[in-house]
């Protein structure tokens, strides 16, 4: 059992939960990329992409919550902060997708993707160092 300086340790189940929701967040972003192409071409309505955005809000919010719980278990703070930033940016993206220029929306999607992938990657690499064995 590995404990941190606070005497707490992240449980393997909590780390697994982070891995699952963080991975699903990345998959939701992939879905957004897949549905964006036909939307831009005009061969699809915005409904599929908009539904994907709602799913992305939920999944990134869950990732943020679980990352916070992992932090409370003794992991570093930065993955939780990054998950919070990703969650907040999903709402900025949704607004820009409906009201802003596509020239801002597309780079924003790239920033979201990088943040989500970093959190997910950390959960599979650095996060395991903080799990109770």
Span 7-19, average pLDDT = 86
CA–CA separation, 61 and 69 (whole Å): 13
CA–CA separation, 93 and 66 (whole Å): 22
Distance of alpha carbon 58 from its chain centroid, rounded?
10
CA–CA separation, 127 and 77 (whole Å): 11
Tokens 């990054």, residue located: 82
pLDDT by residue (tens digit) across 70-124?
999 999 999 999 999 999 999 999 999 889 888 999 999 999 999 999 999 999 9
DSSP H or E run through 32:
helix 12-41
Which residues pair with residue 10 across a beta bridge? 131
Pair 132, 9: CB distance under 8 Å: yes
Span 23-50, average pLDDT = 86
pLDDT by residue (tens digit) across 42-72?
666 778 899 999 999 999 999 999 999 999 9
pTM recorded for the entire structure = 0.87
Span 19-34, average pLDDT = 97
Number of CB atoms found within 10 A of residue 31's CB: 17
- Residue 133 has what pLDDT? 47
Which residues pair with residue 131 across a beta bridge? 10
């Amino acid at each position: 059992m590995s404990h941190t300086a606070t005497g707490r340790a992240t449980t393997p189940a909590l780390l697994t939960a982070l891995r699952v929701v963080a991975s699903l967040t990345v998959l939701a972003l992939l879905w957004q990329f897949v549905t964006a192409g036909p939307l831009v071409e005009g061969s699809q309505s915005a409904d599929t992409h908009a539904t994907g955005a709602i799913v992305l809000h939920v999944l990134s919010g869950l990732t943020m919550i679980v990352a916070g719980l992992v932090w409370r278990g003794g992991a570093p703070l930065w993955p939780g902060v990054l998950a919070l930033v990703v969650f907040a940016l999903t709402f900025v993206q949704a607004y820009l997708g409906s009201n802003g220029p596509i020239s801002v929306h597309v780079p924003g999607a790239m920033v979201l993707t990088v943040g989500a992938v970093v959190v997910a990657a950390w959960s599979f690499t650095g996060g395991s160092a903080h799990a109770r064995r």
